[in-house]
Each structure stands twice: as C-alpha cells, then as structure tokens.
Amino acid sequence: MKKTNPVLIGLSALVIPILFIHLMLTFSCKGQDMKTDNHLQYNELTPDEKRVIEGKGTERPFTGEYYDHFEKGTYTCRKCDLPLYHSTDKFKSGCGWPSFDDEIPGAVKKIPDKDGIRTEILCAYCGAHLGHVFTGENLTSKNVRHCVNSISMNFVPDGEQLKRERAIFAAGCFWGVEHLFKGIKGVLDTRVGYIGGKNENPTYDQVCSKTTGHAEAVEIIYDPGIVSFEELVKFFFEIHDFTQVNRQGPDVGDQYRSEIFYTLEKQRETAQKYVEMLKDKGYSVATGITKATAFWEGEDYHQDYYEKTGKHPYCHYKRNVFNE
C-alpha cells in the first residue's frame, strides 16, 4: 500500500483555504460578477400587467383606467409603488392613452426602443415598462408627450400618503453614506450612484476624473409611514461635515460635494428649512439643494461596500448637530 506524504497533506490543507480566500476577495473587490440583492418587495402582477410591464406590451387605446382620469394626485409605478407623474402634468391628447408632458424628477428612464424609432420609458427604479415618449407634436408648451399605459400605474389622490418615496443625498464617499442610512428603520432599499453631471451612464473612473460634474450619491427608497423625509434630512446633516466645499475629510473633488437632490417640491422646502436652521446656529452651510436629474446606478462592487468588505466608514459618523 502506497504511503501518503504527510507534508503534502499539510500543504494542501494550508494552500486550498488560502486559494479559496483569495478568490473570494478577488470577486468581492472587483465585483464584476456580483449582483446586489434588491431589498424592496415588488407588487405581485396579474398576467395582463406582466404582459405590459415585463413583456413590454401595450394595452388597447381608450380602454385604460386612467385615460380620461383627471383627479388631483400622484401616479405611481404599479410594480414598485414609487411616484412617477403628478396629475398637474397630465393633459388630454386624444391619443387613447394617459398623456403627461413632464415626469417627477429622476423617476423615469428613457432608452431607445428595439424598433429603432421610438423612445421607451421605464420606471427608473424597477425598470417597469411604462410606454413611450414623443416630442415635436406641439400639444403643450413643453412639446413633450409621455404616452403611458394605465395598467403600468396606480393612483394616489392628494391627501393620501404615498406607500414609498425616493430621496437622493450626496455627502462625500457614497460607501459610508449608504452604510449609515441602511440602519434607519423605514429605509427599504439603497443604491449608490452618480447624479448632477453632464454625461449619461458615467463610470466611476469618469466621475473621479472630475470632468463630468457628477456627485457620488445615495438613492434611498423609504416608507414615509415609518420615517419622514424630514428625519432623513436631519440624519444627512448629522453624518457628514456640511461646511466643507467639494470634499469630505481626505476625499477631495466636486464628486464629494454636499448636496440634496429633491424629487418633490415638499422635499426642497424641507431641505431649505434645515439649511436655514443650521445657518441660524452659526454654521457656514456648503450644501446645495438641487432638482434631481437622472440617477445613474454605480458599479456592483460599490453597492453595500462595507457589508461586502467588513470594513468601516472612515469619514462618516453620527453626531448631534441640532440639539447641541
């Protein structure tokens, strides 16, 4: 019987775990093939809803629930419940489908349709198919028509609370900002990415070149019945140095600026209220308050960075600012 070399056994026991750890770290750091789990529970769809929302179908004209609907309120995504359109932007076009000449800032994504002619519109968060957008028809002063399937939307009347809302904050390196916001009760999901610049779908390297104008930011999906936007704004100011211009600690550049990107007018008003409150306390506030534009999701390896690496934020921590 052939004897087994105990030295080789010992080396194998040592080398194999090291190789395994090396491979794990490689994929964790590069993140090329890693996908971040979605923490937001989507609504269950009927077969007809799936045909349109996921299969990119179209409902028959003049049959949709919201075609001739003009109650005041907010139209939300049927799949994820996030706000898409205000009733004030809805108009009668006679086309057979609900028509809007504007969307809630950053709520809708526009991509070339597979037919090579039209522009498809999707929910910017969950990717639900909404319809198509057209320009040059001169139907309103904005000269834009979002032609949306009723079956892709729900409606929340004015005065009723939305099920879910979005908030977008920039406060330096998005790793630490996301990590701290994830611990708040009522925050349903977070995504790090880029906003406020001139390039479409920018990469991390492009943003770091300081030529695109984007800020590293965190998109927060939250339940307004559990946590208010006001509480989120207060927390935002308490986890970073809002007096620094185009930097946060050792990170320097306009991508690390302090900025609140509002998606609703009430968010702008709340953000401004807290800026004035801090100024009254004697702070020199560098935080910008800007209407949201397209939010470009960051690379996979940036998502949930500290959970993946086991590290900790180096320039973000919670402190008391408002009750000093």
- Radius of gyration over alpha carbons of the chain, in Å? 23
Question: pTM of the prediction?
Answer: 0.83
- What pLDDT does residue 324 have? 63
| Structure confidence by residue, pLDDT tens digits, 133-152 | 999 999 999 999 999 999 99
Strands (E), the chain: 73-77, 83-86, 90-91, 99-100, 108-112, 119-123, 129-135, 144-148, 153-157, 165-171, 187-195, 215-222, 247-248, 251-252, 258-262, 288-291, 296-297
Give residue limits of the domains in the chain: 47-157, 165-309
| Structure confidence by residue, pLDDT tens digits, 89-136 | 999 999 999 999 999 999 999 999 999 999 999 999 999 999 999 999
Q: Which of 126, 173, 208, 315 is catalytic?
A: 173
CATH topology of domain 47-157: 2.170.150
| Structure confidence by residue, pLDDT tens digits, 259-306 | 999 999 999 999 999 999 999 999 999 999 999 999 999 999 899 888
Q: Which of 77, 80, 147, 315 is catalytic?
A: 147
| Structure confidence by residue, pLDDT tens digits, 203-226 | 999 999 999 999 999 999 999 999
- What pLDDT does residue 148 have? 98
Region of residue 101 (left: phi > 0; alpha: psi -120 to 50; beta: else): alpha
**Cα 179 from Cα 307, distance rounded (Å):** 8
Catalytic residue check, 173 = yes
Architecture of domain 165-309: 2-Layer Sandwich (3.30)
